[in-house]
Amino acid sequence: MRAMDWLNQVKWDAQGLIPVIAQEVGSNDVLMFAWMNREALQKTAELGRAVYYSRSRGKLWFKGEESGHVQTVHEIRMDCDNDVLLLKVTQLGHDPSIACHTGRHSCFFHLYKDGAWQAVEPVLKDPQSIYK
């Protein structure tokens, strides 16, 4: 078996991307959702650190490159259809951890309740002070 055969088993979408969920080791909190291309997944596996593909910027995005909120990757899992990845990560850079660009622990901080979306997680650090 060739060294990169594992990458060929991934079902990439028409743009060459796969959706990725980052989940915190220990708490099992779902921190964020992002995308990877082949190069991002290969680098994530090689470095043990989350590297995503930014669709808006059209380039690789090393999680924490601006914010310092790096994700150490413990496991890379693929779903039964080979078209979604799950990263088990430790979120670094702040205590408690911040994964969201809004300065929150998780990107999934909106809760639907009583006919409206409500923010249910606090801002842990002002995004203005994270991104200069």
pLDDT tens, residue by residue, 74-124: 999 999 999 999 999 999 999 999 999 999 999 999 999 999 999 999 999
- 117: three-class secondary structure by DSSP: strand
Residue 77 β-bridge partners: 86
Q: 117 is written with which tokens?
A: 């979306």
pLDDT for the residue numbered 131:
86
What span, in angstroms and rounded, lies between the C-alpha atoms of 127 and 14? 33
Q: Which of 99, 101, 100, 106 is nearest to 120 (CA)?
A: 106
5-127: CATH number:
3.10.20.810
Per domain, the residue ranges of the chain are: 5-127
As a whole number, mean pLDDT of residues 122-131 equals 94
Q: What is the pLDDT of residues 41-83, one digit of tens each?
A: 999 999 999 999 999 999 999 999 999 999 999 999 999 999 9
pLDDT tens digits for range 23-45: 999 999 999 999 999 999 999 99
pLDDT of residue 1: 53
Using alpha carbons, list the distances in angstroms from residue 47 to 40, 53, 62.
Answer: 10, 15, 11
Q: Provide the pLDDT confidence category of residue 3 given band limits of 50, 70 and 90.
A: low
Residue recorded with tokens 């203005």? 128
